Structure 1
Amino acid sequence: MIGFFPPMVKTSSRSRRGENPAKPPLGELAGCPFHDLRMKLTTAGLRPTRQRISLGWLLFSKGFRHLTAENLQDEAQASKVSISLATIYNSLHQFTDAGLLREIAVDGTRTFFDTNTARHHHFLLDGVLIDIPEVAVDLSHLPLPPTGKRIAEIEVVVRLRDAPAP
C-alpha cells in the first residue's frame, strides 16, 4: 500500500441494508482518513493533538516522500496551518521515535524525514532524495565491526552530480 490513506470503500444501497456488504481486505484501513490518522498516532503511542493531526495529514496523505522541517513548515503555511518551526521539529522527532518516520541526515546541516519506514537507500541529487530499491545495493562485503560491536543498521546515501560532457 503506498502512502497512509487507503481508497474509500464504496457501498451500494443494497450493501447498506446488510445484503452483500462490501468489506475492505483484512488488515487494511477503510473509513474516515482523520480517524485512521488518529488511530495511527494512538497505536504508535502518540496522543493525537491538533498539531500532530495537522502535521500527520500533511506528511502521510501524499504517499511516500522525503521532507525537511522547513519543507513541512512551507506546506503547513500554504494549508493555513499555524504551527511554529520548533513544534514541527519536535513533532518530526516524536514521529521518528515512534517509528512513523525515518530520519536521514545527509550532511551536518540537512536532515530529511522519510515517510517510507521500510529499509531502503537513497540517491541525493541537487538537494533531493530519491529512493533506491534495497535490492540495488550489495551489502554482502562489509568490513568487520570493532571487537564487542555489531552493525545495527546501514543506510547508504549516494550523492550524484552531473557527468562531464563527452
Structure 2
Amino acid sequence: MALAELLLDGPHRHVTAEALHAEALKAGVKVSLATVYNTLNQFTEAGLLRQVVVDPSRTYFDTNVSDHHHFFFESEGTLQDIEGGTIRVEGLPPAPSGTALARVDVVVRVRKG
C-alpha cells in the first residue's frame, strides 16, 4: 500500500524502480528493491502503470496510462510526456497472423544544445 501511495498520489510522473526504492526508504518504508520491481510489474500488468523502455538497462514506469509518447532528455535521464495526438505514425506493417496491434510507443531522444 505504501508504494502505491508514493507512486500514485499527486501528479503523473516517470520513475525507475531504483528511484522509487530510494524514495520509499527515505519515507521510512522498509522494502527491498526486488519487492519494488515486483510491485511495479504487477501494477503495469493491472493497467495502473505503463512501462517505458529507453534502453536495455533503463526502464521507467509512467503513472499516465493514457495514449501518449515521450521526450527522453539524454543528459538528465528524464522523460516528458508528448500528447498522443501530436505524433502520427504511418506505414506500419500488418500485425502477424493471429495478433492485433496493441500500442505504438515513440520515444524522441533530445539533448540540450
Question: By the TM > 0.5 criterion, same fold?
Answer: yes
Percent identity reads 45
SS in 1 for 2:71: strand
Q: Which runs of 5+ in 2 are unaligned?
A: none
Aligned residues: 110
Residue in 1 that maps onto 2:77: 127
2:27 corresponds to: 79
* AA in 1 matched with 2:84: E
User: In the TM superposition, what is the alpha-carbon distance from 1:153 to its structure 2 partner?
Assistant: 1.2
Q: Secondary structure at the residue paired with 1:93?
A: helix
Equivalence map 1:16-165=2 (5 Å): 53-125=1-73, 126-139=76-89, 141-145=90-94, 148=97, 150-163=100-113
Which structure would you say has the larger RCO, counting Cα contacts within 8 Å and 6 or more residues apart? 2
Question: Please, what TM-score do these two structures have when normalized by structure 1?
Answer: 0.62
Q: Following the alignment from structure 1 to structure 2, what is the Cα–Cα distance between the partners of residues 75 and 146?
A: 40
The structure whose residues are more often strand, as a share, is 2
The structure with more radius of gyration: 1
Instruction: Supply the RMSD in Å over aligned alpha carbons.
Output: 1.4
1:63 aligns to what SS in structure 2? Answer: coil
Which deviations, in whole Å up to 9, do the C-alpha atoms of 1:21-71 show, x marking residues without a partner? Answer: xxxxxxxxxxxxxxxxxxxxxxxxxxxxxxxx1000000112200000001
Post-superposition offset of 1:136: 1.3
Runs of 4+ in 1 over 4 A off after TM superposition: none
Match of 1:33 in 2: none
Unaligned runs of 5+ residues in structure 1 are: 1-52
